[in-house]
Structure 1
Amino acid sequence: MVRQELQEASDELRKAGEAVDASDVRERIHDQSDQIAELATRASGPDHGRLDRHMNTLSELADQLDGDAAEHVRQARDHLRAYRETVDGV
């Protein structure tokens, strides 16, 4: 089962990584993309805490970026937020 919102977040991060020149930032973005893609296909979905950590990291990344890269990171965060609204608890 693929959690579509999480997969879309990962895809947006891939696009952001392609728009970034700095290799260290691109690496952080791709790392987040990989982790979120894994969450999209795991047997059990992520909890609120895990999603919150990713959302905080994406906020930090978006603040460091501008242009298309920042917009893709913000879109990824929006997808995480939309998925998080479907998670039970908190």
Structure 2
Amino acid sequence: MVREDLRAASDHLRAAAVAATDPSLEERLYDQSDQLAELATADSGPDHGRLARITHALDELADAVDEDDAESNIADARNSVESYRETVEGV
């Protein structure tokens, strides 16, 4: 089962990584993108706690980038994660 919102978030972070000029931020964005891609196809989806940590990491990344394209893609990724989180039972 593919979780489309998480796959979209991963794609947005890949685009943000391409737009980033700081090599350290580029690597962090790729790493977060990889995590979301794995979660998109895992046997079971992430729980609210994991999604909260991802959202927090995306907020930190958005604060750290200077490029508008990167920031916009991170915001889109965050929106995709939040859309997925609305479908998770609990809390």
TM-score, structure 1 as length reference: 0.98
Q: Which amino acid aligns with 2:17?
A: G
- Structure 1: give runs of 5+ residues left out of the alignment: none
- Structure 2: give runs of 5+ residues left out of the alignment: none
Q: Name whichever of 59-68 and 17-26 sits farther off.
A: 59-68
> Is the 8 Å Cα contact of residues 25 and 65 (structure 2) preserved in structure 1?
no
Aligned residues: 90
Moved over 6 A (4+): none
Q: Distance in 1 between matches of 2:27 and 2:64?
A: 14
Q: Aligned-pair RMSD on alpha carbons?
A: 0.6
Partner of 1:73: 74
TM-score, structure 2 as length reference: 0.97
1:64 shift after superposition: 1.3
Partner of 2:64: 64
Q: Distance in 1 between matches of 2:35 and 2:59?
A: 16
